[in-house]
Copies of this chain bind each other. A is one copy, B any other.
């Protein structure tokens, strides 16, 4: 199910003929671990990938009354996508060009044992668990909204739609295969709203080809994703892949015209913040030339922490600084 075609894409600067690789994701070809596996498609740096992702339930829930037992799997992943020339020690780049909710429905769910302010698998309590609940959201494409409808009253309200990947990551190092529920050094289930149009994501390349996976589309999410779900949706996806040869990073990063952003993913949450900010100090030092202590001080005044999720096996924050506060980038 791979189609290759050429398309004219407008990039900054002159229009270029870009190679576009199209791949259709279905429940028959999804994966459930970030791992070294046979690629479903191979792209060259600069190529564009047109694909789609299923929602975190494998599109198994269709209408009010459906239950979580109808999910066809947790966080099915599109991929892996192989990028020619990517080798361990390089950085894989994923520029997110377009994300559209695929359909007009999103799902929110509370699942017993999962959530930030209830007893959970890794923070268990003796109280009897709360019961499963499922909320369905209508997506209005014209208005770019999703509608929350209360289950216990007749209240409803429209929420702006901001589509992003809950899962985006690469094959881990050291031969590991990691569940699509887990975020870590390889990316994964980061639930980062920063994984959205306009941003480029950087990943460490751990194996030849990098092996990108995508999934778990979100149409809207609060900080922390505290009840365990966003507005869960399938996505139509357009991303451009690339490689930065010889640039070695330890954790995922984001960048856009305005800001550089690092990812910290671990527990307790303060360790996630420590990872994010030490990575950011190192990035500022390496590329923008401030001393570590000057960078530390500056971040203490203008740094930003975005807590992405506090429900997955590791917690995720994005720490960032706007480029306007940094010296000019050093010549490579």
Q: How far apart sit A284 and B209, CA to CA, in the bound complex (Å)? A: 49
Q: How far apart sit A129 and B293, CA to CA, in the bound complex (Å)? A: 13
Q: Which of B108, B268, B299 contacts A301 (CB 8 A)?
A: B108
Oligomer: number of copies: 4
Within A258-275, which residues are at the interface with B (CB < 8 Å)? 266-271, 273-275
A306 CB to nearest chain B CB (Å): 8
Q: Which of B108, B151, B274 contacts A117 (CB 8 A)?
A: B274
A36 CB to nearest chain B CB (Å): 9
A266 CB to nearest chain B CB (Å): 5
Q: Determine if A281 is an interface residue (Cβ-Cβ < 8 Å).
A: yes
Q: How far apart sit A315 and B129, CA to CA, in the bound complex (Å)? A: 26
Q: Which of B119, B152, B177, B297 contacts A177 (CB 8 A)?
A: B177
Q: How far apart sit A135 and B133, CA to CA, in the bound complex (Å)? A: 37
Q: Determine if A28 is an interface residue (Cβ-Cβ < 8 Å).
A: no
Find out whether the CB atom of B127 lies under 8 angstroms from the CB atom of A226. Answer: no
A166 CB to nearest chain B CB (Å): 13
Chain B: CB-nearest residue to A302: B222
Q: Which interface residue of A125, A157, A281 has the most chain B CB atoms within 10 A?
A: A125
Contact with B along A146-179 (1 / 0, CB 8 A): 1010111101010100000000000000111111
Find out whether the CB atom of A281 lies under 8 angstroms from the CB atom of B152. Answer: no
A20 CB to nearest chain B CB (Å): 31
Within A269-304, which residues are at the interface with B (CB < 8 Å)? 269-271, 273-275, 277-278, 281, 289-294, 296-304
Find out whether the CB atom of B227 lies under 8 angstroms from the CB atom of A297. Answer: yes
- Given A152-B291, A269-B269, 13 additional A-B pairs, CB 8 A: A117-B296, A124-B275, A127-B130, A148-B297, A148-B298, A148-B325, A152-B293, A153-B327, A227-B296, A267-B267, A267-B270, A268-B269, A273-B310
